[in-house]
Amino acid sequence: MINFNQYKALTFDCYGTLIDWENGILGVLKPLLLAHNTNFDDDQILELFAEFEAEVEKGEYIKYREVLQIVVQKFGERLGFEPTAEELNSLADSIQHWLPFPDTVEALKTLKQNFKLVIISNVDDDLFAFSAKHLEVEFDQIITAEQAKSYKPSLNNFRLAIDRIDLPLEEILHVAASVYHDIVTAKSLGLSTVWVNRRADQKGVNLTGSAISQPDLEVPDLNTLAALSSPKQY
């Protein structure tokens, strides 16, 4: 168990940790693929999305809206169809409708009472602005890929966040669902980490924990984190 009293700031990944990105993605791609005579199950779709997204983000920086357009294009190339202009924009356009996990908002409000809250997200500023409305708390800092001009797991995104937070590393705790994008890099920089393993009780592909790294704490959801971090009453 980690000592929450030493931390002053909690940094969060957004999509997959706070926002239910899997349902957001599937809500767009399942009907899109069906329209092109492809009936994949959820895990197949999510695996391909993760493959295509990582491939695009490793290249020269482009905005996340463009990343998502290329991801849809790659689905078409892999599966033998040509997406329409509307379909190419469908993932990015849908982000404004992606909702938080049921535990997210109340947990953030609880955590806000004791910590500074910071976002470190692979997204554009304008796309995160939509999600911020759903999250219902004021973040002390928001660091996006658009600002960093790079995508996690790049060290650059975390270094920018650390510089802006302006606290010693030992007073910052990073919270994320993706071991690959977040936990490994944060640990390499000396940050303590919490892995929100939302897929712990699910069968199928593990999209977030494939990389080898040991978080300081693993929790199944944000309610658990909020409860563990609350000052104990004696």
Catalytic residue IDs:
13
Six token digits for residue 84: 């329409």
Residue 157 in contact with residue 186, Cβ under 8 Å? no
- Amino acid, single-letter form, for residue 188: S
Q: How far apart are CA 25 and CA 42, in angstroms?
A: 10
15 by DSSP, 3-state: which?
Answer: strand
Six token digits for residue 183: 């936990």
> Starting from the edge strand earliest in sequence, which strands make up the sheet with 141-144, in order?
141-144, 116-121, 9-12, 172-176, 192-196, 217-219
Q: How far apart are CA 11 and CA 161, in angstroms?
A: 8
Six token digits for residue 48: 């391909």
